[in-house]
Amino acid sequence: MKQKFYITTAIDYVNAEPHIGHAYQKIVADVLARWNKLKGNEVLFVTGTDEHGKKVEDAAKEAKKDPQEFVDEVSKKFKEAWKSLNINYNRFVRTTDKDHQKVVAEFIKKCEAKGDIYLGNYSGLYCTGCEAYYTEKDCPDLICPHHKRPLEKIEEETYFFKLSKYQKFLLDYYKKHPEFILPKSRRNEIINRVKEGLKDLSITRTSFDWGIPFPLDKKHVTYVWFDALINYYTATRKKGLEDFWGKPTVHLLGKDNAWFHTVYWPAMLKSAGIELPKTIFNHGFLSFNGQKISKSLGNAISPITLVEKYGADSVRYFCLRQFPFATGDDGDFSEKALVQRHNDELANKLGNLVSRTSALAEKYGIEKGPKTLLNQLKLKKIGRLIDNYELDKALNEIFAFIDICNEFIQSKKPWETHDKKVLYQLVESIRETAKILFSFIPETSEKISKIFKKDKIKKSEILFKKIQTS
C-alpha cells in the first residue's frame, strides 16, 4: 500500500557559504527520499535556507549589501552545491518566500487564539551566532559554548510564547512516542533538561529589522527560530501537498538544533492545533581532515570543490559508508580515507565486477538459468537497515554481496568455461545491486543499469578511475 513519506533537512543559515558539514545531512535525506520512492511511496523532500535574524543582517552589512540581495546570492550557492551532489529535493524553502511569511502570520494567530502569547519585557544573555538566549547556569563564564564569544546582555520589550505551559505535555509525549527523538542518547539529554523546567520563550525582537513582521504588533519582528521552524509546515500548504503533513514525517537536524526542534517545535505545533511530526533525528557533526569546520579557520571546504576533485558519487559514498549516522556520533571527513574507499571499494570491487562481467557477457553472451547467486543478496535486511537510518551497515551488506559476486566469477572462471548461465547469474545480480545503489550513488547506478539494460551487453567504460596518492 502506498504511503506518504515527508522528509526535511535543517534550513541552513545564509550568513556563510555551504560546506561538507551541511552536505552530509542533505546526502542522507536524499538517500531516504530515493529509497522511499523505490519502495513505491509518495515522497516530499524539502530543504532550504534560513534568511532572517540579526546574524544575517550583520553579515549583509559586513558584505556592504542590502540584506535581500545578500540572501539571494548565498541561497543560490546552496542550491548549486546540492545540485552538484545530485540532491533531488522537491522544494527549496526560503524563509523570505511570500507563502512562508503568510503561513508564519497565520500560525502565530493560532497560538494567540489559544492564549499562548503575551507582551512583556526580557533581559538576558544573547549570542547572535546562535540567535539564542543563554542563562548563567548554561554559561557561568558568560561565553557562548558554541561560538566561544562573550554573550551580550540584551533588554527589550518582547512578546512571549507560553513554553512553560507545555512541560508536562512534552514529557508525556516523549514517553508515549520514543521514536519522536532519535537517537536515544539525544532523547535522554532532552528529557533531563525539560524535567528541570521550561521558561517562556521570547518570540519577537525590536533591536533589528530583518525579520518577518510580527502580525500582532508591527513594531516587532518575529524571532528567527519561531519563523524558521514553521518552514516545514509551509512546504505542505501548497495545493495537493496538504496530506504530507503528519506521519511519517522525519526532520533531520544537527545535534546543536535538538533543543529548538524537540522542545520549541512540538510545543508550538500543539499550541497551533497541528499534528506533530513522527521523528526528529539529531545527528553528529563532521570535522574536516581532523579539524573543526570553521569559516575563520578557512577550512569550510565547498561541496562543489570536493565533487570537482573526487566526483559526486565518491563524496556521497564516503559520507554514507564512513560515518554511522544512526548513532548520532561525530565523524571526520578525511580526504585520505575517502581516496582509500574510492580505490578499494568503488574502483576495485564494484568497478572491477562491472568491467569484467560486461566484457565477458559481450564476448560470450548470456543464457537464462537459476539465480542462486542473487539469493545471497539480503534485500530485506538492507531495507530494514535503511529504514533504521543505519546507512553505513546497509552499504556494508551491499558490498559484502559484491564481494560474493567477485568470488563467484573468480571460482567459476567464465573466461575459460564460456559458461553463459554463470554470466547470466552475474548480470542479474549486478542489475539488482544497481537498483539498490541508486539511493546511494545514483549517477553510477544509472550507468550500470544502462550497461546491463538489454541482454546484448557491451563492455563498460571504467566506472571509477583510481585516484593516485602521493
Are residues 200 and 164 in contact, defined by beta-carbon separation less than 8 angstroms? Answer: yes
Q: How many CB atoms lie within 10 A of CB 397?
A: 18
Residue 418 is among the residues annotated as catalytic for this protein: no
Read off the pLDDT of each residue in 175-202 and give the average, rounded to a whole number: 96
Quickly name the fold that domain 335-451 has.
Answer: Isoleucyl-tRNA Synthetase; Domain 1 (1.10.730)
DSSP-assigned letters across all residues of 259-293: HIIIIIHHHHHHHHT-PPPSEEEEE--EEETTEE-
Residue with the bigger pLDDT between 134 and 403: it is 403
- At residue 300, the pLDDT reads 61
Residue-level pLDDT at 297: 52
Using DSSP's 3-state secondary structure scheme, residue 436 falls into helix
Choose the catalytic residue: 292, 363, 413, 465: 292
CB contact set of 213 (below 8 Å; sequence gap of 6+): 220, 221, 222
Domain regions of the chain by residue span = 335-451
Given the residues 26, 52, 55, 130, the one annotated as active site: 130
- Report pLDDT digits (tens) over 280-310: 999 998 888 877 776 555 556 789 999 999 9
Tell me how far the alpha carbon of residue 371 is from its chain's centroid: 36
pLDDT value at 135 more than 80: no
pLDDT at 131: 75
- Model pLDDT for residues 205-233, shown as the tens digit of each residue: 998 899 999 999 999 999 999 999 999 99
Least trusted range by pLDDT, from 292-306, 358-372, 444-458 = 292-306
pLDDT tens digits, one per residue of 67-104: 999 999 999 999 999 999 999 999 999 999 999 999 99
Catalytic residue among 61, 295, 368, 418: 295
Active site (annotated) includes residue 19: yes
130 flagged as catalytic: yes
Contact partners, residue 133, CB within 8 Å, separation at least 6: 122, 124, 125, 126, 127, 154, 202
Among 238, 211, 217, 220, which Cα is nearest to 99's?
238
Q: What per-residue confidence (pLDDT) applies to 139?
A: 79
Catalytic residue from among 147, 418, 453, 465: 147
Model pTM?
0.93
Model pLDDT for residues 421-446, shown as the tens digit of each residue: 999 999 999 999 999 999 999 999 99
Q: Is 127 a catalytic residue?
A: yes
The pLDDT score that the predictor gives to residue 384 is 98
pLDDT > 70: what percent of the chain?
98
Residue 296 confidence (pLDDT): 54
Residue 299: per-residue pLDDT: 55
424 within 8 A of 366, measured Cβ to Cβ: yes
Catalytic residue among 26, 52, 144, 342: 144
Between CA 442 and CA 232 the distance in angstroms is 26
Distinct helix (H) and strand (E) counts, the chain: 19, 16
Average pLDDT, the chain: 93
Positive or negative: CA dihedral 414, 420, 425, 426:
positive
Single out the catalytic residue among 52, 54, 55, 127: 127
Average pLDDT (170-183) is 97
Report the C-alpha gap between 32 and 10 in whole angstroms.
Answer: 15
Task: Assess whether pLDDT exceeds 90 at residue 151.
Answer: no
- The pLDDT of 2-12, averaged and rounded, is 95
Would residue 342 show up in a list of annotated catalytic residues for this protein? no
Average pLDDT for 250-263: 95
